[in-house]
Structure 1
Amino acid sequence: MTSAPGGPADGAGPTNGGGPADAAERAGTAEQAGAAEPSAGERAQRTLPAHFREKSPLTDTAGVTWEGRDYSVSPFPGDDGSAPAPVVAALAAHRAGEDPHRRQLVAALGTARVLVPIMAVATETGTTAHGLTGDNGADMAMVSLTAPDGSTVLPLFTSVGALAAWRSDARPVPVVGAQAAQAAVQEGCTALLLDAATPEAEGGPVLLPRSVLWALAQGREWIPPHEDPELARALQQVAEEASEQVVGLEAGAGERAEVDLHLQLRPGLTAGEVRAVVDAVTARLGTEEIVAERISSLRIVLGS
C-alpha cells in the first residue's frame, strides 16, 4: 500500500486558511470601522458547516483547533457513487468488440471520476499485558496489487458498488482518472486494473497497460501503438540507425504481446548475421524513450 493520491472520500479536507475565531474577529473589526469592504483574502474564507459548529466549535474530534484551516469544496458535488455514464458506454463498447483496443475507454477515463481504494495500515503496534498484539496507530494508504510477473498494478473502480464487490473494507477516494494515473506512476505502478471484481461472465476486469497509464498521466490522447504516427517515425529512425541490413521496422497489433514489431531484413543473411541484426535493433529500441512509454510489451517478428 502507498499513500492516497487524493483527499477524503467526502471531498472535504483541512487545508491552510482561517478559522471561526479569525472570522469573528474580522467581522467585529469591520463593524467598528463602519462595515469596511472585506479584503480578497477575507472573502475567500468559508463558513464552517453547521455540524462542525454545533458539535465542536473550537476543535476537531482529535482535539486539534480549527483555527488556520479552511475546507475545500468537493470536485464531484453531485456524485452518488455510480459509474460515470461515458465510462459505462465505453466499457460496453469495448466488451462488445466495438472498441477492441480500448481507445474510447481510455479517452473517457482521462476526465471521468474514478475511485481509488485506500485502507488502514498499522504504523505502530503494541503488546498488551496478556501478550496480545494490537495496533496503536494507523494511516490510510493507497492499495496496489502485485501481478504474477512481479509488476505493481493500481486497481481503479468505476463505482462504489464495484469497489465493494472487491473489498468491502476499502474506502473509496474519488479522483479524476488522469490524477489516479499520476499517483500510480509516482508509486512505481506499471498498469491499471479497472473493476477488479467484475465476473468473467460480464467481461471481467480490464487491464490498462503501461502505455495507457503513461498517456493518462501525461494528459495526452492515447493511440494504440500500431496506429501511433509519432511512434512509427521513431521506429523508422531505429531501423535506419540500428543496421544497414534492416529494410523496415513496423508496429502491428500483437497476438501474444501488445505490439508485434515486424522486422524486414535484406535477403541472403546467414543465421549469425540475422541474430546480430536483431540484437542491434533490440539494443537500439531500449534507448528510445517513446518506445518505453508507448509500448507496454513487444515481440520482434521477422518478415512482413
Structure 2
Amino acid sequence: MMPTIDERLKQATQQLAASGSESPSLDAAVLLCHALNKPRSYLFTWPDKTLNDAESAQFESFLALRLEGRPVAHITGEREFWSLPLQVSPTTLIPRPDTERLVEVALALSDIPAGQVLDLGTGTGAIALALASEWPQRSIVGIDLRIEAQQLAQRNAARLGFDNVTVKQGSWFTPLKAGTKFALIVSNPPYIEENDPHLEQGDVRFEPRSALVASQNGLADITYISDHAREYLLDGGWLIFEHGYDQGTAVREQLVTLGYQDVRTERDYGGQERVTLGRFLS
C-alpha cells in the first residue's frame, strides 16, 4: 500500500536528517509539493491522502537528488526571494535570505537622488527584481558576466512582468555607455577566499565558483567595483555591497580611502556584518 502524505514526509525528513541536511523537514515538504504540484497548505489539509504511483516515483527521484547533496532550488528550479518566485539554475548563485538585507538597506535610504539603479553580478536578477518591485518608477539595470545568467535574469523579469528592468551581459561596467550615471549601484559580488573550506560544504558545492570566489582574500572584485563605481554614480549616489561576515572593516576602509562619505556597515539576520555602503559626492 502506498504511504500517506504524512507518513512519507516523516520518512523523508528522517532520511534527510541522516544525510546531513540542515533543514530536513522543510526540504521534504518543498520537494513533495513540487512532486504533487501543490502549495504547502495542501500537505496540512490532506495529510492522510495516499500518493499514487506517479506522484511517489516523482518524489523519490527528487529525494534521491537531495540525498546526494543537490540544492533543493536546483531540483525544483525555483527559489523565492523578496516574495518573488525566481527561476534558478546551476549557472547562477541561489538567492539567499541574507541578501534581502541589502535590499532592505537600499530601500531604507531616504536621500537617493532621482535616477536609475545598477545591479552588478545580477545572477538570477534577485536584487534587481526586488528593487524593481518596490520602485516601479525607477529604471533598473542588471549586468552579469555569463550569458546564461543574463538570459535567466531577463526571463525572470519577463515572467514577473517587470518592464522597468533591463539585463546586460558583460564584465562589470563594460556594457555601459560612456557617461551613464546611476543614483544607486548595488552588488553581491564574489567575496569568498579561494581556499575557504566552506566551498566544499553544502549547496555551494554545486554553484559556479566564478560567482563565489575572488582573489586578494576575497576582496578583488569589491576593490575593482568600489574604484570604478565613482565614474558611474550621480552626485549623492550610493554604492552598496554584500560581503563576507569578516570583511566589514576592510570594505569600510576601502570606501573611505576612495573618498566615499557616510560609510557604514549593516548586520545580517544572524548579527554578522554583511552590507556596507557609502555615498559618492563629487
Structures share fold, TM-score greater than 0.5 = no
Larger radius of gyration: 1
Q: As a proportion of its length, which structure holds more strand? A: 1
Q: So what's the TM-score if we normalise by structure 2? A: 0.27
Q: As a proportion of its length, which structure holds more helix? A: 2
Q: So what's the TM-score if we normalise by structure 1? A: 0.26
